[in-house]
Structure 1
Amino acid sequence: MIQHYTARLAALAIAFLVSYSLAAHTGSVRGIVLDGKTGKPLDGANIYLLPDQSSSVSNTFGQFLLRNVSPGPYTVSVGHIGYETATQSVVVEDGISVDISITLIASDIRLNEVTINSVKAQPFSSISDVDLKLRPLNTSQDFMRLIPGLFTAQHQGGGKAEQMFLRGFDIDHGTDINVSVDDMPVNMVSHAHGQGYADLHFLIPELVKRIDFGKGPYQLDKGNFATAGFAAFKTFDELDNSFVKLEGGMYGYCRTVAGINLLNSSHGDGKTSAYLAGEYSYNRGYFDAPQNFNRLNLTGKFTTLLSAGKQLSITLSAFRSGWEASGQIPERAVREGIIGRFGELDREGGNTSRYNMNVQYLQSINEHSLFKSNVYVCYYDFDLSSNFTFFLKDPLNGDQIRQREKRLLAGYNARYVNDYHLGPFKTTTEAGLGFRLDNTRNSELSHTLNSDIVLERLAFGDISEANFYGYAGQTLYLLPQLVFNAGLRMDYFVNAYNNKLPSEAMRSSYTTRGLSPKAGLYYNFSNSARLYINYGTGFHSNDTRVVVAQQGKDVLPMAHSFDLGTVVKPHPRLLLSAALWMLDLQQEFVYVGDEAIVEPSGRTRRLGMDISLRYEFLKYLFLDADINYAHARARDEAEGSNYIPLAARLTSIGGLTYRKGAWGASLRYRHLGNRPANEDNSVVAKGYTVFDAALNYSLRSFEFGLQAQNVFNTAWNEAQFDTQSRLRDEVMPVSEIHFTPGTPFFVKLTAMYKF
């Protein structure tokens, strides 16, 4: 037996040495990919060396490198979504690097430009770029809905962060999805309203260049909250044109946004760009009582090339919004005629603001290694008044609560990626580290009257939370089409709470830590199919007040997840993907921000299937559809009483999109199936199917648009909860569905001038 294994190891060593010897007699192809219109580098382009089938992807500076190429003639093929494929002939010689420059010409979007590149690792997929360009997107809420299987619900006049649902999770306002903008976190830890609260309304939609997203806890650089998935937004470094845009619609909706190029790299030294953008919107709303939602955004971004391969960007932004809201109403209030479907029982509302500074540094050390980092500072405040139970607890004054906080947030991220060869094997090393510091002042939950009279303080104190982390991973190309990756991430938390309630005054501090291993294996069948399996461990941290209450024990619940999937392109105009997945979440203790109590939450298991289709029917007509199924259950509860409230079982989005020349049109649907509203499924949150449509026309410097939401005026409920409440004149409380009605038929017009 020993001799057998010794012989096998010797044979493997000889094969390695022979391969290494052969690799020494090779050359390389080094190049840059440029945009034909602007002359700027293009990142994310797919590069193939034919007929060798070696591949690469251009980096942020448009650079790529193909190494260990045997001498001989080749064709370099370069493709990118929204550009015509370009080719160039090269002759590789022994020990020589061939330098080339390839320019891509913009064109209409074609699915035949989509390729399944072995260098692009899981869980990223090129269909994210397709979706971003084919779908009409107007608000940050629309962007989140772009992620297949993710649904959002707004239940306070448009002002609060949306409630989200993904992969069998009621994510609340962001507990199980990691959201970032230019590597600056959006999620708020130990937030007054809920853990992981992710308010994207400070992001001006017209400034979004790209969204990277993934499902499951598989991405090394995504730490806290990345259990169900992540969404990473990237804004433009430079505007193609200055613009002014006006929007107006039903129910008193109006919006204006402008972006002005202050410095354009196409002029001057060609290295520096800067723009300033602003947005103001107002919406009375479709409710009986005015919601008076208003939002003001200002963003400025400066980008410069310090030298070849070194880029610095500085972004400053300011956001403020205020609103009133009709809140969630009980079904019986409508059924008994007390109020109408769009009525209210108690006035709610709030205001919030966020001010950001984000400094990003990017350096291409050479064609195969990249370093990027960013440092950010944010000031944030939040003030929210709500009443979910009306007169259940206080029959005289009502149950109104106020949640508020002021926060200073700062942090640093650094990431290094190096592509190189280990003998005959291509490999990539990734490493990163960083920290995040949060300090809140006067985090409060109070029982109030008329939003400003404090009847009783339920929670009041200062929170300090620090997260230090580091990670390292390795990707090994065992064959040109067979890729293995593995990595490990460590997170260390320091949580401190200064309780200011007179009856509970004390200072407490605890530390926690967690390790998150991740691994994946995928195989590409030429450039038309991929089979993959992913394993990952992720987590969401718990509120600092939970950490203190539990004395640092059982407060970092880990999620263990598997994905088995495939991406197939059986026809140049058809792209299919499917995945089977399972996710187990450990037992935890949860801080209920609306009540200032800590509750236990048992182990859960979620499993399901995701299916996606993209099809180019005709030259200018596209069809897309995503179907997602999830089976979510509590593992420690009896059968029949183990449902997870509001976990979406069946969701689907899709539609038709037409684009030809100056014209564009789309008809889209959103379907969310019935869901259990409580643990035994005796109360059901009803599902809905809603259709939206859009029509756009471009004429030189002008663009005009018509958009219709809920085309068939479906009566649907956007947010739903099984809540026990008591109305003013009721003797006994009633537990039933409380809901926020969804948007009725709504039309808006848009006009943009570019200069």
Structure 2
Amino acid sequence: MPEMVVEEEMLTKGSVSINNEALPASVYVITGAEIRDMPVQHYLDFFRRIPGVITSHYGQGDVADGFGMRGYQSGHGSQIAIYVDGVPINIPHHSHSHGLADLGWLIPEMIDRIEVIKGPFSVLYGNFALGGVVNIVTKKYQQDPEVAVEAGSFETYRAVATVSKDSWEITPLSVRPFLIYEIYDRDGFRDNSDYRRYNAFNKITFPVVGGLLSLQAHYVDRDWGAPGYLSVSDVKEELHSRTDAVNPEDGGNSEYKNLVLNFVPKTGEAGLYATLYVASHRMNRYATFEPSPQTLEHNDWDYGGWRLLYDFVPFKKLSVLVGSDGRYSEGDRLGYITENRDIVARTEDWHIENLGVGLFGQVQWKPVKFLKIVGGLRYDFFSFDIDNHVRPQNSGDGTTSIMSPKVGLVISPTKNFNLFANKGLGFRTPSADEMSPADRDYANFDLEPAKVDTWDIGFDAFLFDRLQLLFDFYRTDMEREIRWVGSETVNVGESRRDGYELEFTLHATPDLRFYINYGQVNARLKNPAVPGHDRVTGVPEDYLSAGIQWEIIVHDGARLFFDFAYQRLGEAPLDASGSVFRPPVGRYMGKASFRIKGWTFSLQVNYHPSKYASEAMFLLGGEPAYDPKPVYEFVVGVKYTF
């Protein structure tokens, strides 16, 4: 959803509002001001302090980053629904990961807010909202234009320019521009880990018919090398250096572009919201997972869609929301065995057309001052038309649909304490691999979406005008758990996840904040094929983040800001039996910035103490393999605000 502002009162879970922060669920919001001050060297850094969010930078360019929450850990966020300005980023039937969500193009300076919704509770989000939802809203404008340059370790260079000012209004339509351009170049810690990106984001916003209309055009082009995953034992025995690449011919390139139109009410929440978009995504990826040969994955997708909703607010204690969304996508997914980028054999070749249409409604009612009741329902319909050129006998078409109800409540005995509970159904559509395999004669175009049934109970509180607390316990039951086995995705059956999350923030002074977040999750298969082999692989058993943020006014408007953070992911099983574990991994991140008279000088430092483990760790050929990280890395920057 685009940003909405509640003007009459401070927004809480007890408020009647369609803003995500008012959901009877665990919701974490990161503002653009926070992003400006936090240490960010990769887009995953936005999320590292959020309890329950699992991030793994795989070192495979912009195609392979692990992102998950609540024990749903999979490459590319395919079990997390991700939206940017109302546009669904997950791409159905993408190779390597059904529902790939490419966020590698995000520029920190373009973001107004990030909303992380735990669980599948919101009716506004459908396909892939299993573990939760990430909703990203970009800025409409900013206070002043800026230029910034950065340089860092491993020949990292970045330049960004932002053309926008809150007082600019270009007549005759009172247009406000927000234009941002970025160049990023990095050689990387390991051999063949170079990465280059060119970004152009253009948005104009102007008032029309009682609302604000934004027109957005975005283009990004990227090229990268992929150093691959090294055997841990080989590195320890010095058969490989930590900087070695598996195959110097691995790597890839991608291109993403979109046109987006967004309309929101100019004031208040009641009224019409509309999003229309078209987008395209192109990607080539060469990868070697030893002992298997190099492969090429090629994806070429075009898609477009809409979201329309209307919020009726007949009186302050009642909101009735109705709407529809949908997306049509068409594209080609191909796979090859290659040698030094020369094609040896074709393994996958699908042409896929996919249409999804959703209808949804939600009612919020506050019958008494201390109680809010929320109920919602989605109906989603999908059609598929798949041409399987490797196995033509598996070609065909089909339809499927699903109803996903949501219900929740908030009890607010005092102004600063909210007890919340919810129950919701989420889902993911079947992938091309499931309906029309390329490796055997079998087709099932009547396969229903895999369901996730989850419930939460928790509370949030703001005590003594200084202390924020949030506790949440959840249970999730899932059909058709998909996990990586070797180099393939396999249905391993039904699963259950039980867990809890705790957030603690102390505002010691207006300029000094401490926080610590902790969570645990138990992820198990219900009926494993082999007794005792019930672990859901790759899911850390616990996670911890802690930090301090401190702003110091020096003199005459000059300011110092410090942000220091620590993140730890607990051990995670690498096989279903739990006999092989990835050890706990930690990471320290720090940023210091000094602002004076339009200038901002900054220094970022990251410390990875684990030389023989990383967030990204797998079994390849039966042996633990990982993507080694540098022990230290830093970035210095200077920015001028006009």
Q: Do they superpose with TM above 0.5?
A: yes
Are residues 1:544 and 2:432 paired?
Answer: yes
Are residues 1:535 and 2:423 paired?
Answer: yes
1:49-128 matches, cutoff 5 A: 120-123=22-25, 125=27, 128=30
- Of the candidates 362, 365, 380, which is equivalent to residue 491 of structure 1? 380
Structure 2 SS opposite 1:141: helix
Matched-pair contact (CA < 8 Å) for 2:53–2:68 = yes
Structure 1 counterpart of 2:310:
416
Structure 1 counterpart of 2:138:
235
Structure 2 SS opposite 1:47: coil
Shift of 1:170: 1.8
Structure 2 counterpart of 1:573:
466
Matched-pair contact (CA < 8 Å) for 1:383–1:403 = yes
- Aligned CA distance change for structure 1 residues 511 and 594 (closer, same or farther; 3 Å): farther
Q: Deviations over 1:250-303 (max 9, x none)?
A: 11111111111389546767932013211111111111x242210110011010
Separation in 2, partners of 1:648, 1:720: 11
Separation in 2, partners of 1:165, 1:405: 23
Structure 2 counterpart of 1:476:
365
Are residues 1:514 and 2:405 paired?
Answer: no
Structure 2 counterpart of 1:97:
none
- Of the candidates 515, 540, 553, which is equivalent to residue 648 of structure 1? 540
1:193-272 matches, cutoff 5 A: 193-261=96-164, 264-265=167-168, 271-272=174-175
Matched residue pairs, number?
627
Are residues 1:623 and 2:514 paired?
Answer: yes
Separation in 1, partners of 2:174, 2:17: 20
Structure 2 SS opposite 1:170: coil
- AA aligned opposite 2:9: I
Find the structure with the greater CA-based Rg: 1
Structure 2 counterpart of 1:33:
none
- Aligned CA distance change for structure 1 residues 281 and 193 (closer, same or farther; 3 Å): same
Structure 1 counterpart of 2:231:
330
Separation in 1, partners of 2:213, 2:514: 40
Matched-pair contact (CA < 8 Å) for 2:363–2:376 = yes
Structure 1 counterpart of 2:439:
none
Matched-pair contact (CA < 8 Å) for 1:192–1:593 = no
- Aligned CA distance change for structure 1 residues 462 and 626 (closer, same or farther; 3 Å): same
- Of the candidates 296, 308, 312, which is equivalent to residue 213 of structure 2? 312
Matched-pair contact (CA < 8 Å) for 1:529–1:566 = yes
Separation in 2, partners of 1:471, 1:682: 45
Shift of 1:569: 1.6
Q: Deviations over 1:482-508 (max 9, x none)?
A: 01111110111111111122x536641
Matched-pair contact (CA < 8 Å) for 2:560–2:594 = yes
- Of the candidates 480, 486, 502, which is equivalent to residue 611 of structure 1? 502
Structure 2 unaligned blocks of 5 or more: 437-441, 554-558
Shift of 1:380: 1.1
Structure 1 counterpart of 2:200:
298
Separation in 2, partners of 1:322, 1:146: 29
Separation in 2, partners of 1:188, 1:547: 16
Structure 2 SS opposite 1:210: strand
Shift of 1:681: 0.6
1:660-739 matches, cutoff 5 A: 660-661=552-553, 662-710=559-607, 716-724=613-621, 735-739=622-626
Structure 2 counterpart of 1:163:
66
Separation in 2, partners of 1:591, 1:437: 28
1:358-369 matches, cutoff 5 A: 358-363=260-265, 369=270
Structure 1 unaligned blocks of 5 or more: 1-40, 61-116, 393-398, 725-734
- Of the candidates 345, 354, 359, which is equivalent to residue 256 of structure 2? 354
Q: Deviations over 1:589-617 (max 9, x none)?
A: 7898955xx73320000001000011012
Shift of 1:479: 0.8
Structure 1 counterpart of 2:492:
601
Structure 2 counterpart of 1:582:
475
- Of the candidates 630, 639, 642, which is equivalent to residue 752 of structure 1? 639
Structure 1 SS opposite 2:278: strand
Shift of 1:343: 1.2
Matched-pair contact (CA < 8 Å) for 1:556–1:588 = no
Shift of 1:673: 0.6
Matched-pair contact (CA < 8 Å) for 2:563–2:590 = yes
- AA aligned opposite 2:149: L
Structure 1 SS opposite 2:73: strand
Separation in 2, partners of 1:332, 1:714: 12
Separation in 2, partners of 1:244, 1:551: 54
Separation in 2, partners of 1:649, 1:483: 34
Matched-pair contact (CA < 8 Å) for 1:54–1:480 = no
Matched-pair contact (CA < 8 Å) for 2:5–2:268 = no
Structure 1 SS opposite 2:233: helix
Structure 2 counterpart of 1:18:
none
Separation in 2, partners of 1:594, 1:462: 22
- Name the TM-score, length of structure 2 as normaliser: 0.92
Structure 1 SS opposite 2:235: helix
Shift of 1:127: 5.6
Separation in 1, partners of 2:397, 2:370: 50
- AA aligned opposite 1:47: E
Structure 2 counterpart of 1:427:
318
Q: Deviations over 1:69-105 (max 9, x none)?
A: xxxxxxxxxxxxxxxxxxxxxxxxxxxxxxxxxxxxx
Separation in 2, partners of 1:518, 1:145: 28
Matched-pair contact (CA < 8 Å) for 1:220–1:489 = yes
Structure 1 counterpart of 2:450:
557
- Name the TM-score, length of structure 1 as normaliser: 0.78
Separation in 2, partners of 1:432, 1:258: 37
Structure 1 counterpart of 2:556:
none
Matched-pair contact (CA < 8 Å) for 2:404–2:424 = yes
Q: Deviations over 1:30-87 (max 9, x none)?
A: xxxxxxxxxxx982456179xxx99968999xxxxxxxxxxxxxxxxxxxxxxxxxxx
Give the root-mean-square deviation of aligned CA atoms: 2.7
Separation in 1, partners of 2:14, 2:9: 5
- AA aligned opposite 1:439: E
